[in-house]
Structure formats: C-alpha cells, structure tokens
Amino acid sequence: MPPRRAILTVLSLSALLHLYVGMRLLPAIAPQGLWLAAAYGVLAASALLVPTGLLASALRRLRWSDQLAWAGMLAMGMFSSLLVLTVLRDVTLLILAAIGGAGETFDRGSAIAVPLLALGATLAGFFNARRLARVVEVEVPIPGLPSSLHGYAIAQISDVHIGPTIKRRYLEAIVARVNGLRPDAIAITGDLVDGSVRRLSAHTAPLANLAAPDGTFFVTGNHEYYSGAGEWIAEMRRLGLTVLLNEHVVREREGDGVMIAGVTDYSAHHFEPAHRSDPRAAAAGAPAHVKVRVLLAHQPRSAEAAAAAGFDLQLSGHTHGGQFYPWNLFVPLQQPFTAGLNQAGAMWVYTSRGTGYWGPPKRFGAPSEITLLRLVAA
C-alpha cells in the first residue's frame, strides 16, 4: 500500500483542484439553490474518484477493485479536461477584463461551455482509446539497402498498458490485426503491462499467438520496472518472445543480414543497476554481412547514444503522442521526439503513439496505432 502521507497528499490536491473548478464555474452557472448543491456534490464525488484511479493498483485486493479503477480513470479523464478548460477560461476572462470586460452573458455562457466541452472531449477520447488501433504504414529509406532487404517489414506495437482497464480481449484484437499484416518481424517496444505477472498473466497470454518468420521481440519499458521486470522478462520468454537486454540477433535474406537489437529502458538502472541501457553493447559483435541495424528502445531519448553506436533505425514509444491535449505540449520537455518518423543525425527514429493508453481511457488528438514499418532503398 502507498504511504498514508502520500494518499493524504493526493486526496488534498484533488480536493483543492476540484474546489477551484467549482468556485470558478458554479457561481456563474447556478448561483444558489439545489442545482448548486448538486453540482458541488458531483465535484466532491469526482474529488474522491480521481485519487482512486491513481491508486488503483493498491486497491486490487478489494472485491470491486476493477470497477473502482474504471470509475476513477473515467473521472480522471473528465476532470483533466475540466481543469484545463477552466484555466483557459480564466485566462480569457483576465485578458478581456484588461481590455474592457467580458460581460455577464459571456461569463455565464463560457462557464456552461466548459463542462459541456470537457464531456464532449471525454466521450470522443473514450471512443478513440477503446477502439482497435489503426494501422499506420511507414516507409523508412535506408542508404545502401540491398535489394534482398527492400520491403523488409517490422510490425511495432508499444505502450499497450495491460492492467486495470485493458484486458485479454483488447490484446487479442491487437494480436489478430498484427498477424494479419504478415510482417517479417514483430517488435514490442515496452510498457506492455501495469501490474504483476500473477495478476495479469491470463491477460497477456494472447502474445503467444504472435507470429512472424523472423520472430517477435520485446524490450522493457519503465512500467515493466514498476511491475516486476524480472518476472515479466521470464514470462515473455515463456510465451515465446525474444527479450533483448542490450543485445541483438541477426536475421538473413539471401546472405544479407538485418540486425534487430534491443536495449533496456533508458531509466532501468534506477531499478536494476545491471540493466543500464547501453546501445553500444547491443550492437557489439555484429557480423560483417549486416546491412541494416535496427534498435528497439522504449524511450526516444536513447537516440543520441543509438546514433553514435551506428544504428540506422530506432523504434520507440513511451510518449503516447501526448495521449490527449494538453499533455502533448509537455512531451518535448523530456523527449526529443513526440511521434512519427524523425532523424537523429544519420539515424531514423520512429516514435509510436502507442497501441493502448495509460490511465484514463482517453485519446484526443493522438490516435493509437499499430505500425508497419518497411525498409526501402534511399
């Protein structure tokens, strides 16, 4: 269980933020009466549910833990938009006040608009998060690519986050779609789970059905380390996946080799000192007939070291593309790339928006994806 002080801190912060929203919106919508009391009651319930979503893993022993997690995550998604829109409304009111005032009509109308827009964004975001991820096809131009490797296809999934709200059926649909793409290889670039092997092994079992001629490869993300990385590494191997821990394998086409390497998560050494991420070690000992070097690295910020180690392409995730506004604006503060195909020196970096979601079942402006990357001659 989380420390009691941490729980009280989360509850207090949630209460204060909900109180701010209530004080800024409700007097303009319903200054008095039963409507005002009911609205504050809804906000009070949300103030309790949001921390429930954040602390879902600690509630797993409760009989209704999954239902509480769902309620908490939905409340978190709704309140996130409600808070952001309330702040934007206040900024707008301040600007209008500086140039002459907004007027009572705008004050009330904007206060009504905020929860309606938040609800609309939450419903649209829920639909986008829960539907099966679309397939994004990307061609990656590689200088000097031999004809034997032209069209070599890697299917990438990332950041599924199997846990409180993502279960077996969600993953089964992903596996079926990936297999339908008939790739040469399959890459899972971390943050597959949010929970222990004991709790989630029944839900990750469909991974055993992934099939590609050159294999299915897995690298750890930061959430694997929150969830017991050692046990998950063993479980992935039991399911038939090749786990790459700062190492590589070579697959061949007509005598030309493609290296598929993988590193542990960029922050892994904070949890397991022996797991320090090392792209150079992952590339060490590559045979001379290797023509393309591909690195699986959960976080895009591995790119600098990967480019220096001589890789041609890095496949990453972690960012979720921001998942929903405005969090996409904060990704560049930590990561060099948010989504899509970019370059780091002479190396390509593809950053997946993720195949599932973390936390609230909500995606807005950052659709989930299953990526099919094809190597083509530059």
Contacts of 130 (CB under 8 A, 6+ apart): 170, 361
pLDDT tens digits, 312-357: 999 999 999 999 888 888 899 999 999 999 999 999 999 999 999 9
Average pLDDT estimate for 105-125: 95
Q: What's the rounded mean pLDDT across residues 111-125? A: 96
135 DSSP β-pair partners:
370
Backbone phi and psi for residue 149, each to the nearest 5 degrees, phi listed first: -105, 0
* pLDDT digits 0-9 by tens, 260-315: 999 999 999 999 999 999 999 999 999 999 999 999 999 999 999 999 999 999 99
Enter the pTM of the model.
0.92
Q: Which helix (H) or strand (E) holds 99?
A: none
pLDDT tens figures, 31-42: 777 888 899 999
What mean pLDDT is predicted for residues 43-58?
A: 82
**Domain 134-377, CATH:** 3.60.21.10
Q: Where are the strands (E) in the chain, listed by range?
A: 134-142, 153-157, 185-188, 216-218, 242-243, 247-253, 256-262, 290-296, 313-316, 340-344, 347-351, 369-377
Amino acid at 92: T
pLDDT of residue 242: 98
Task: Find tokens 């992934």 and name the residue.
Answer: 210
Q: What is the dihedral of CA 255, 342, 336, 54, to 10 degrees?
A: -90
pLDDT for res 8: 85
The proportion of the chain whose per-residue pLDDT surpasses 90, expressed as a percent, equals 83
Residue 2 has pLDDT above 60, yes or no: no
User: For residue 252, which amino acid is it?
Assistant: E
Percent of the chain with pLDDT over 70: 96
Closest to 218 in 3D by CA, of 198, 194, 203, 240: 240
- The per-residue pLDDT of the chain, averaged, comes to 93
pLDDT given for residue 51 in this prediction? 87
pLDDT in tens, 56-107: 655 566 667 778 889 999 999 999 999 999 999 999 999 998 887 778 889 9
**Least confident among 7-11, 88-92, 147-151, 180-184:** 7-11
Dihedral Cα 127, 129, 132, 136, nearest 10 deg: 120
Is residue 246 within 8 Å of residue 219, measured between CB atoms? no
Q: What is the DSSP letter of 82?
A: H
The pLDDT, as a whole number, for residue 6 is 76
Helix axes 4-29, 34-54, angle to 10 degrees: 150
What CA–CA distance (Å, rounded) separates 197 from 157? 20
Cα dihedral 195, 197, 200, 203, rounded to 10, equals 130
Q: How far apart are the C-alpha atoms of 246 and 263, rounded to whole Å?
A: 4
More confident residue, 231 or 330: 231
- For residue 3, give Cα distances in angstroms to 55, 58, 346: 11, 11, 47
pLDDT at 57: 58
Q: How far is CA 263 from CA 14, 48, 243, 260, 269, in A?
A: 37, 39, 10, 11, 12
pLDDT score recorded for residue 329: 85
Domain ranges in the chain are: 4-130, 134-377
